[in-house]
Amino acid sequence: MKFNPAELETQQIYKLMSGSVVPRPIAWVSTLSDDGLLNLAPFSFFTVASRKPPMLCISVGPGVGEREGTVKDTLANIRANGEFVINISTTPLGNQLQKTAEHVPSEVDEFAKAGLTPEPSELVKPMRVKEAPIQMECKLHQIVELGSDHLVIGELVMYHIEEKYYLEPYKVNLTALRPLGRLANQFSEIKDIFSLPKDDLK
């Protein structure tokens, strides 16, 4: 089978792409509005963008449902204040993460809605998710408009990790972390970790 994107609806090609580019890491992004409102939302279009200086990027899509034709709060807040935090979720935090993905009015505090604890950052104003084992404070480097979406690139200015997830030298204990991955509209816990080549790989 083959599909020409030019002949498909946006949602149709999105389903094919998001079901093929898997598993995807999830950036749990916390921002702050001009009015001091806390915002928290997950984004699975997320990766490392640069080593030096260290940069991360997320792709933010347009508003959906009742907010169609608008930009998401995350993008609006980053545009306004130039700062955000990328929190990394574990599998046990999956239900809280999903709660923050729900479409709610801008004035709703997703931290409170999901029963999460906001923790002050050191170099940026947006709060960190205290329960998240890894939190990365970022300052905006650039926003690139890509069709209907916006690629947000931020420079990592402070990295936080709980000691039990840290391995010398400068490594993350992935087995302990139990990272949560996105598979289309489903999720997975990465458990079977191995090196290649592997004799019994089938």
- Give the tens place of pLDDT for each residue, 63-93: 766 666 678 999 999 999 999 999 999 999 9
- What range defines the domain where residue 131 resides? 24-183
CA 58 to chain centre: 7
Query: What per-residue confidence (pLDDT) applies to 109?
Result: 94
- In this prediction, residues 88-107 reach a mean pLDDT of 94
**Cα distance between residue 192 and residue 88, in whole Å:** 19
Mean pLDDT across the chain:
94
Residue 118 placed within a domain: yes
Report the domain count for the chain.
1
pTM of the entire predicted model: 0.94
Helix residue spans in the chain (DSSP H): 10-20, 73-81, 94-99, 110-113, 174-177
Residue 73 placed within a domain: yes
pLDDT tens for 19-72 read 999 999 999 999 999 999 999 999 999 999 999 999 999 999 997 666 666 789
**Cα distance between residue 121 and residue 27, in whole Å:** 17
Sheet order of strands, 55-60 included: 38-43, 27-32, 83-88, 134-146, 149-161, 55-60, 46-50
Query: What per-residue confidence (pLDDT) applies to 65?
Result: 61
Here the CATH number for the domain that contains residue 97 is: 2.30.110.10
Query: What per-residue confidence (pLDDT) applies to 191?
Result: 81
Query: What per-residue confidence (pLDDT) applies to 199?
Result: 85
Instruction: Give the gyration radius of the chain's Cα atoms.
Output: 17
Residue 95 placed within a domain: yes
Looking at the chain, how many residues does it have?
A: 202
**Cα distance between residue 113 and residue 105, in whole Å:** 12
Residue 199 placed within a domain: no
Residue 158 placed within a domain: yes
Residue 157 placed within a domain: yes
- In this prediction, residues 99-110 reach a mean pLDDT of 92
